[in-house]
Structure 1
Amino acid sequence: MIRCYIKPEEISAISFDLDDTLYDNSPIIEKAEAELAHFLHHKYPRTSQFEREDWFALKRKLQKERPELCHDTGLARVSVLTLGLRQLGYSVKEAEAGGLEGLQCFLQYRSDFTLSQPVLELLHGLKQKYRLVGITNGNVDASRIGLGSLFDFVLSPGNGVRMKPAPDMFNVALDRLNIPAVQLLHVGDSHSSDVVGARLAGCQSLWLNPAFGRSKVEQAKAYLPHIEIDNIKQLKLLI
Structure 2
Amino acid sequence: MRCYLRPQDIQGISFDLDDTLYDNQPYIAKAEAELIQFLHREFPRALPWQTQDWRAIKLELLQQNPQLAHDTTAARLATLQYGLARLGYSAAEAQRGAHAGLACFRFHRSDFQVSAEIVALLHHLRQRFRLIGITNGNVDHQRIGLGDVFEFVLHPGQGVQMKPARDMFELACARLHLPLGQLLHVGDSLHADVRGARLAGCQSVWLNPGAGRSGIAPSSGLLPHLEIATLEPLLALLCTE
Q: Normalized against structure 1, the TM-score is what?
A: 0.95
Q: Secondary structure at the match of 1:235?
A: helix
| Cα deviation, residue 93, structure 1 | 0.4
Alignment deviations for residues 64-109 of structure 1 (CA, whole Å, 9 cap, x no partner): 1111100000110010011111111111100011111111100000
- Which amino acid counterpart does residue 145 of structure 2 have in structure 1? G
Q: Secondary structure at the match of 2:46?
A: helix
What is the distance in 2 between the residues matched to 1:122 and 1:71? 30
Alignment deviations for residues 3-59 of structure 1 (CA, whole Å, 9 cap, x no partner): 010121110100000000000000010000011111111101111111222111111
Q: Does the CA-based 8 Å contact 2:36-2:50 persist in structure 1?
A: no
| Cα deviation, residue 188, structure 1 | 0.2
1:81 aligned residue: 80
2:168 aligned residue: 169
| Cα deviation, residue 210, structure 1 | 2.4
Alignment deviations for residues 179-222 of structure 1 (CA, whole Å, 9 cap, x no partner): 111110000000000000000110000000028xxx98854234
What is the distance in 2 between the residues matched to 1:216 and 1:51? 36
- Which amino acid counterpart does residue 138 of structure 1 have in structure 2? G
Q: Does the CA-based 8 Å contact 1:164-1:193 persist in structure 2?
A: yes
Alignment deviations for residues 96-146 of structure 1 (CA, whole Å, 9 cap, x no partner): 111111111000000001110110100000000000000000000001111
What is the distance in 1 between the residues matched to 2:215 and 2:189? 11
Superposed, which structure 2 residues align to 1:57-96 within 5 Å? 57-96=56-95
Any unmatched runs of 5+ in structure 1? none
Task: Give the number of equivalent residue pairs.
Answer: 235
Q: Secondary structure at the match of 1:49?
A: coil
What is the distance in 2 between the residues matched to 1:218 and 1:62? 35
Q: Secondary structure at the match of 1:232?
A: coil
Tell me the C-alpha RMSD between the 2 structures: 1.4
Q: Does the CA-based 8 Å contact 2:185-2:205 persist in structure 1?
A: yes
- Which amino acid counterpart does residue 176 of structure 1 have in structure 2? R
What is the distance in 1 between the residues matched to 2:158 and 2:216? 32
What is the distance in 2 between the residues matched to 1:195 and 1:156? 17
Any unmatched runs of 5+ in structure 2? none
1:4 correspondence with 2:3: yes
2:148 aligned residue: 149
- Which amino acid counterpart does residue 220 of structure 1 have in structure 2? P
- Which amino acid counterpart does residue 117 of structure 2 have in structure 1? P
Superposed, which structure 2 residues align to 1:42-61 within 5 Å? 42-61=41-60
Q: Deviation above 2 Å: which 4+ runs of structure 1?
A: 215-219
- Which amino acid counterpart does residue 141 of structure 2 have in structure 1? A
- Which amino acid counterpart does residue 190 of structure 1 have in structure 2? S
| Cα deviation, residue 235, structure 1 | 1.5
Q: 1:20 to 1:218 in 2, by over 3 A?
A: farther
Q: 1:139 to 1:231 in 2, by over 3 A?
A: same
2:37 aligned residue: 38
1:207 correspondence with 2:167: no
